Amino acid sequence: MLTRLEEVEKKYIEIEQNLSKPEISPTEIHKFSKELSDLDEIIGIYRQYKHTLEEIETNQALLKDKELGELAHEEIDGLVKVRDRLENQLRLLLLPKDPNDGKNVFLEIRAGTGGDEAALFAGDLFRMYSRYAEENKWKVEIMNINETGTGGVKEVIVSIEGKNVYSKLKYESGVHRVQRVPSTETSGRIHTSTATVAVLAEPEDVEIEVDEKDLKVDTYRASGPGGQHVNKTDSAIRITHLPSGIVVQCQDERSQHKNRAHAMRMLKAKLYENEEEKRKSEFADERKTQVGSGERSEKIRTYNFRDGRITDHRINLTLYKIEAILSGELDELMDALTTYYQTESLKGN
């Protein structure tokens, strides 16, 4: 680990030197500044780590001193704890970076098993992620939504843009299960319903190229809540990618041009996801897909209203704060998932 850290520090110093050259171009300034920024955290912790090691060594030399020995011993105990904490942080920072972590995402939520109650739960999840995005100052834009007359959502697809969106949301993909008494249930019987969530990283334009000859584009009249909002023109867009069979649609904008642009972004994200899955399957014995059929057994998390708890089955974590979490307070859950998967990655290194 120390050898790798020394190499990172050498690279950091080299970048600093490049930035100080008088003949540097604006393009190089941008490039080197970004590289420096990417290394700031690990270099800061590494230098603190080296300083801690020096402090431990200095105090160890004082252990035999009659007057200062006891004080040095206490100092070493505290420094060893700091050293171990910094060492663990450095191990995590040296893990290979997920190239998608800094990307924006498309978040897809669909009602699964459970009829109207599943649609209501999908709506709850949509509001939960929207509030979480608001807390993080991310931009949320609805691409497509199919609402029910009872306030639920059969399907909603949104674009979320901001800092580290994918890194925060990537563990949310899968089947979410809810257990609660529906408002229409007179006997007080608990119903179980599901909704599926998929998080797709939005690729850069240079990463995915789409041939127009491979596309079948249909226009249709968008549905709406009625009244003055009814769309009287064929502005909704449905695009079918013929080689893969992927279908995307967008009807949220009044402009056909904007809907087509949004639909193309979604298509590229789905094609990019397919490519990512192919690459992952080359290195894994078992391919893991984000979302199954929406059946109750394929769950990653349960939301139990009677007990006021949320349980994430992947990490065996139960939190008795269902109202807070559904209000968008997801940080504790997200941090626990990130820590778990980082720890698992460390075991493989």
Q: For the residues of 133-162, what is the DSSP string, one character each? A: HHHTT-EEEEEEEEE-TTS-EEEEEEEEES
Residue 133 has pLDDT above 90, yes or no: yes
Compute the radius of gyration of the chain from its Cα atoms. Answer: 26
* Within-domain flag for 291: no
Domain that residue 260 falls in: 105-284+298-344
User: How many separate domains does the chain show?
Assistant: 2
Last residue of a domain, one of 50, 68, 93: 93
Residue 293 has pLDDT above 60, yes or no: no
Residue 287 has pLDDT above 70, yes or no: no
CATH of the domain at 175: 3.30.70.1660
pLDDT at 281: 65
* Between residues 316 and 342, the one the model is more confident about: 316
Residue 36 has pLDDT above 50, yes or no: yes
pLDDT at 65: 85
* Within-domain flag for 99: no
How much is the average pLDDT of 254-279?
Answer: 85
Q: What is the largest CA-CA distance in the chain?
A: 91
Same domain, 171 and 222: yes
Same domain, 143 and 240: yes
How much is the average pLDDT of 117-133?
Answer: 96
pLDDT, mean over the chain: 86
Same domain, 252 and 168: yes
* Within-domain flag for 349: no
* Within-domain flag for 98: no
Same domain, 328 and 248: yes
Q: What is the DSSP string of 64-115?
A: T-TTTHHHHHHHHHHHHHHHHHHHHHHHHHTSPPPTTTTS-EEEEEEE-SSH
98-113 pLDDT, tens per residue? 888 888 999 999 999 9
